[in-house]
């Protein structure tokens, strides 16, 4: 089964209605092939608005959700709330959630499990810090992050894994196509061994970390890179070039 190319745009804490209108107009002018799945993730406050104006071939994701449906959790949103406004995707475990807000592997796994149970599709982020890569711990770190999620879920068909080396996010440093492919390949081998061969063949493993219109095409040529989760470049016209990178 061929894995459908996937491009996610994580807008992070950026934009207002005027800016979102401009981004969406840019997307409307882009002839998105049926072989590409495109998802954009605006700030929570603009989820409903973005959903109302994006073209039909662009989906919308929340940038985060909590592990329960409701309760006394000030500032959080639940998968049920996300579903209620017609959103089908959520990003969970982004390195900023892990390393700025202190979310650990277990909490992220619980959040992934609850989002899936609620009917959302999940972009589950994993990745190592610079000191971990330099210490030769890349595989150990990303395998552990996947293992934590695997311990909480039984079905992977609505999960996309985003490998985002923390040292390459927003730094301008990008893993070379060979470095990224090596980790993606090792991840697929790990999933085959520890989860199942079927999941390993079917799951999309996308790359994130200073992806640009200039480097996306080379990265997309690699066998185990099934697309991208894009930060800064998703706020610029070059996002269109990234969407077309698998051509």
Query: Tokens standing for 118?
Result: 């609620």
Does residue 58 contact residue 32 with C-beta atoms inside 8 Å? yes
Quick one: CA dihedral 86, 91, 96, 101, positive or negative?
A: positive
Q: Which of 205, 212, 213, 207 is nearest to 229 (CA)?
A: 207
**Interatomic CA distance for residues 88 and 79, integer angstroms:** 9
Burial class (CB in 10 A: 0-12, 13-18, 19+), 108: buried
DSSP three-state, residue 229? strand
From first CA to last CA, the distance across the chain in angstroms is 19
Query: Tokens standing for 84?
Result: 């209620």
* Residues involved in catalysis: 94, 164
Does residue 82 contact residue 62 with C-beta atoms inside 8 Å? yes
- How many CA atoms does the CB half-sphere of 85 hold within 13 Å? 20
């Amino acid at each position: 089964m061929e894995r459908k190319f996937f491009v996610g745009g994580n807008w992070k804490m950026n934009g207002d209605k005027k800016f979102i209108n401009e981004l969406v107009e840019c997307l409307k002018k882009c002839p998105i092939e049926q072989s590409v799945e495109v998802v954009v993730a605006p700030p929570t406050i603009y989820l409903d608005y973005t959903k109302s104006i994006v073209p039909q071939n662009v989906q919308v994701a929340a940038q985060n959700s909590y592990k329960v449906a409701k309760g006394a959790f000030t500032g959080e949103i639940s998968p049920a709330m996300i579903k209620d406004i017609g959103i089908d995707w959520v990003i969970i475990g982004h390195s900023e959630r892990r390393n700025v807000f202190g979310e650990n592997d277990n909490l992220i796994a619980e959040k992934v499990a609850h989002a899936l149970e609620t009917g959302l599709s999940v972009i589950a982020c994993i990745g190592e810090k610079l000191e971990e890569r330099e210490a030769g711990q890349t595989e150990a770190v990303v395998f552990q992050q996947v293992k934590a999620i695997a311990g909480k879920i039984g079905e992977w068909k609505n999960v996309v894994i985003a490998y985002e080396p923390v040292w390459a996010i927003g730094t301008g440093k990008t893993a070379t196509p060979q470095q990224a492919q090596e980790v993606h390949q090792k991840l697929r081998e790990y999933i085959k061994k520890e989860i199942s061969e079927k999941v390993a063949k079917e799951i999309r493993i996308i790359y994130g970390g200073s992806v640009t219109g200039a480097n996306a095409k080379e990265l997309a040529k690699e066998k185990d890179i099934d697309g991208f989760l894009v930060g800064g470049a998703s706020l610029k016209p070059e996002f269109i070039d990234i969407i077309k990178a698998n051509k």
